[in-house]
Amino acid sequence: MPAERRSSTLNLVYLPLYAAGIIGPAVGAMVVLVGGIPAPFLLGATVFFGGAITIAARISRGARSPAEGSAAS
């Protein structure tokens, strides 16, 4: 990475982390207000379970990662 672009590149890398740090607690507070104290944990478990199902489905179909696809070409 050229030195003159390093700062803007790092800003783009860290932007989602900063946004999550600002938006996450507000969304979490709303989830607690609507569903009570256990709601964020149940929502988190649902999201992770959905991700696990997605990964399992891709593995069972024999989907290759982008790295494998470029290495095979």
Beta-carbon neighbour count of residue 43 at 10 Å?
A: 14
Give the domain extent around 32. 1-36
- How many structural domains comprise the chain? 2
| Between 6 and 43, the higher pLDDT residue | 43
Q: What is the pLDDT of residues 11-69, one digit of tens each?
A: 899 999 999 999 999 999 999 999 999 999 999 999 999 999 999 999 988 866 666 65
Q: Are residues 73 and 42 in the same domain?
A: yes
pTM for this predicted structure:
0.58
Q: Are residues 30 and 58 in the same domain?
A: no
Q: Are residues 1 and 31 in the same domain?
A: yes
Q: Are residues 42 and 67 in the same domain?
A: yes
pLDDT band at 7 (very low <50, low <70, confident <90, very high): confident
Q: Are residues 59 and 32 in the same domain?
A: no
Residue 44, pLDDT score: 94
Say if residues 32 and 42 touch (Cβ distance below 8 Å). Answer: no
Closest CA to 38 of 48, 47, 28, 24: 28
Helix, strand, or coil (residue 64): coil
Closest CA to 43 of 55, 33, 35, 52: 35
